[in-house]
């Protein structure tokens, strides 16, 4: 007997509606609809998400999926930190801000004047990034962009789930990304909420991962999507990384592997039983986010294939519309380890002329300036791999055990060149797959919520049985060159 579950998977570059069918211990996927997400510029110059357009695309995808047999449930996941403001009737009050909007940097400085970093970390265990929800909410309060008739905020994926279920709650994995959630108490930090002056009435209730929000679609959603009215709506892990980590096909014991969720962002970490709130974790700027179980994802949120995406966007605007496959091919043909950058440098986080930024960094650090798209992309990919190596070394020191295998999940796992660079840079085995890890984790969590499969271990067995995995091992002939590159990388400035 088979069952079908629908995942709404929203990423920073694209969104997907994906159907997953479970049958005889295997999961098969069918992509129903794919659409761009991306930032839009508002008339006031701010960066926003066009949530009405995104929602329209989602409902279009659900209508296309409605004819599939055996649909039992649906759930949405998305990136963290961003949110919508809703009135008492659940109506959207404004386009949500994009996490790359410039308002966040001064907001972070203001919050640090109200409450020390050490206290914020002790309350939340979360990495300090200027776009965390804590700082965005402070910006809303300071800039008076908090709508007067706001009744609550909701993370993006939870808003989509609310449209389908009528249940306006936040799921714990995405709540944990806000830097307002206490992972020990497993609830909102009143101390931080009061520190920024946010009225507590605006906080949504928090539910754990794999919560059934509704056993039926609310009437309006059923009418708009044509899905069976008996379709359950489930809060799986609303944060995309939490869903992706559930789909890591690990067979090793927990104390021998780490994961890299690879996409626009790279999220590299380990799965732990409980939060790690030590001074060393604070100093390393790692984060403790909640996963299913509950588990803790101790990870570092670092720049990822955003570097490549922004290069591609820039060249496309100039009339050279390369595919990702073409860029990877050109990078493979370029000279190895010629030019390195520090991807952590703030200049690379902002939108703009990424090839120009990489060239400027090369000039300033007296390195060969990339002359071609292939050289530029190779510099970005090799530098990312070296950053992964540095981050893995820090992770091992924090968790106090060695990592033998790195699992790469998500769309970035399709970049076979980066996977090999990562194996060479880290001197570890790299296992890539599944590509649609977030949707896979979302779907398997729906099945767990509905008691179709018993637990996380069973879900990971299904992943291993269902999807092709690719293993990259370090190339011995390249070891000396990568060893020298590590030393060069350590000297690069973070500016």
Please, which pLDDT band fits residue 253 given cuts at 50, 70 and 90? low
Residues with catalytic annotation?
240
Q: Check residue 25 and give its pLDDT.
A: 95
Q: Which helix (H) or strand (E) holds 212?
A: strand 211-214
Nearest-angstrom CA–CA distance, 158 and 446: 15
* Model confidence at 263: pLDDT above 80: yes
CATH topology of domain 3-239: Nucleotidyltransferase; domain 5 (3.30.420)
Look over the chain and give the mean of its residue pLDDT values, rounded to a whole number.
96
**Model confidence over 72-91: pLDDT tens digits?**
999 999 999 999 999 999 99
Q: Inform me whether the pLDDT recorded for 394 exceeds 80.
A: yes
Asked whether the predicted pLDDT for residue 252 surpasses 70, the reply is no
Going by pLDDT thresholds of 50, 70 and 90, the confidence category of residue 254 is: low
**C-alpha torsion 250→251→252→254, nearest 10:** 50
pLDDT tens, position by position, 438-459: 999 999 999 999 999 999 999 9
281 vs 287: CA distance, rounded Å: 8
pLDDT in tens, 210-234: 999 999 999 999 999 999 989 999 9
| Pair 271, 277: CB distance under 8 Å | no
Cα gap 397→224, rounded to integer Å: 51
Instruction: Pull the structure tokens for residue 119.
Output: 């206290």
Task: Determine the average pLDDT of the residues in 485-489.
Answer: 98
What pLDDT shows up at residue 251? 83
- Find the mean pLDDT for residues 192-198: 97
Model confidence pLDDT, tens digit, residues 62-73: 999 999 999 999
- What does the alpha-carbon distance between residue 106 and residue 100 come to, in Å, rounded to a whole number? 13
Q: What are phi and psi of 129, to 5 degrees?
A: -130, 140
What span, in angstroms and rounded, lies between the C-alpha atoms of 433 and 392?
Answer: 19
CA angle at 330 for the pair 329 and 334, rounded to the nearest 5°? 120
C-alpha 349/C-alpha 169 separation (Å) is 31
Query: Which residue blocks in 318-453 are alpha helix, DSSP H?
Result: 324-333, 354-364, 373-399, 416-426, 437-449
The whole-number pLDDT of residue 465 equals 97
Answer yes or no: is pLDDT of 13 > 90. no
CATH 3.30.420.40: which residues of the chain?
3-239, 248-433+454-495
| 342, β-bridge pairs | none
In sequence order, what DSSP letters do the residues of 144-198 get, joined into one string? Answer: T-S-TT--EEEEHHHHHHHHHHS---EEHHHHGGGT-EETTTTEE-HHHHHHHT-
Rounded distance, CA 47 to CA 268, Å?
27
User: Cis omega (within 30 of 0) on the bond before 285?
Assistant: no
Look at 116-130, 242-256, 289-303, 449-463 and tell me which has the smallest mean pLDDT: 242-256
Residues 461-467: contacts with CB under 8 Å, at least 24 apart: 461/25, 462/22, 462/25, 462/26, 462/27, 463/27, 463/247, 463/248, 463/249, 463/434, 464/249, 464/251, 465/25, 465/26, 466/26, 466/27, 466/28, 466/434, 467/27, 467/249, 467/433, 467/434, 467/440
- pLDDT tens by residue, 46-64: 999 999 999 999 999 999 9
Give the model's pLDDT for residue 451: 97
Residue 255 banded pLDDT, cuts 50, 70, 90:
low
Q: How far is CA 263 from the centre of its chain?
A: 8
- Is the pTM for the entire model greater than 0.85? yes
Q: Which fold has domain 248-433+454-495?
A: Nucleotidyltransferase; domain 5 (3.30.420)
CA distances from 426 to 180, 245, 284, 378, 382 (A): 34, 20, 19, 17, 11
489 strand-pairing partners? none
**What local confidence, expressed as pLDDT, does residue 229 receive?**
87
Q: Are strands 71-77 and 232-235 parallel, antiparallel or unpaired?
A: parallel
Cβ–Cβ < 8 Å for 335, 379? no
Strand, coil or helix: what is 83?
A: strand
Query: What's the rounded mean pLDDT across residues 382-402?
Result: 97
Question: Higher-confidence residue: 252 or 285?
Answer: 285
């Amino acid at each position: 007997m088979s069952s079908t579950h629908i995942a709404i998977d929203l990423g920073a570059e694209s969104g997907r509606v994906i159907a997953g069918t479970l049958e005889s211990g295997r999961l098969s996927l069918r992509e129903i609809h794919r659409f761009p997400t991306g930032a839009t510029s508002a008339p006031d110059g701010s960066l926003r998400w066009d949530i009405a357009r995104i929602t329209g695309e989602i409902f279009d995808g659900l209508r296309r999926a409605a004819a599939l047999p055996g649909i039992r449930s649906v759930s949405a996941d998305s990136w963290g930190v961003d949110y919508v403001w809703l009135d008492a009737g659940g109506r959207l009050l404004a386009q949500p801000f994009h996490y790359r909007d410039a308002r966040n940097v001064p907001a972070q400085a203001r919050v640090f004047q109200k409450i020390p970093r050490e206290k914020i970390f002790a309350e939340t265990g979360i990495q300090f990034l200027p776009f965390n929800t804590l700082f965005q909410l402070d910006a809303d309060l300071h800039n008076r962009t908090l709508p007067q008739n706001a009744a609550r905020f909701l993370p993006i994926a939870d808003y989509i789930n609310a449209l389908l279920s009528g249940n306006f709650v936040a799921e714990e994995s995405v709540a944990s990304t806000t830097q307002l959630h206490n992972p020990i108490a497993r609830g909102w930090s009143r101390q931080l909420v009061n520190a920024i002056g946010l009225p507590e009435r605006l906080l949504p209730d928090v539910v754990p991962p794999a919560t059934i929000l509704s056993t039926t679609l609310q009437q309006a959603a059923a009418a708009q999507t044509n899905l069976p009215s008996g379709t359950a709506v489930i809060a799986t892990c609303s944060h995309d990384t939490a869903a992706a980590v559930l789909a890591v096909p690990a067979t090793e014991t927990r104390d021998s592997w780490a994961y890299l969720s690879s996409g626009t962002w790279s999220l590299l970490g380990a799965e732990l039983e409980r939060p790690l709130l030590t001074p060393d974790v604070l100093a390393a700027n790692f984060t403790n986010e909640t996963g299913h179980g509950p588990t803790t994802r101790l990870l570092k949120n670092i720049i990822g294939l955003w570097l490549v995406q922004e290069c591609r966007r820039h060249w496309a605007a100039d009339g050279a519309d390369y595919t990702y496959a073409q860029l990877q091919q050109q990078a493979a043909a370029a000279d190895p380890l010629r030019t390195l950058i520090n991807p952590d440098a703030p200049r690379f986080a902002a939108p703009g002329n990424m090839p120009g930024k990489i060239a400027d960094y090369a000039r300033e650090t007296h390195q060969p300036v990339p002359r071609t798209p292939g050289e530029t992309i190779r510099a970005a990919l090799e530098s990312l791999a070296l950053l992964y190596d540095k981050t893995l070394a820090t992770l091992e020191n924090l968790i106090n055990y060695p990592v033998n295998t790195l699992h790469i999940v998500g769309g970035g796992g399709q970049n076979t060149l980066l996977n090999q660079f990562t194996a060479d840079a880290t001197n570890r085995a790299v296992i890539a797959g599944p590509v649609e890890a977030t949707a896979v984790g979302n779907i398997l969590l729906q099945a767990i919520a509905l008691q179709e499969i018993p637990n996380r271990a069973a879900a990971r067995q299904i992943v291993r049985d269902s999807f092709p995995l690719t293993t990259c091992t370090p190339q011995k002939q390249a070891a000396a060159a990568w060893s020298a590159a590590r030393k060069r990388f350590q000297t690069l400035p973070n500016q």
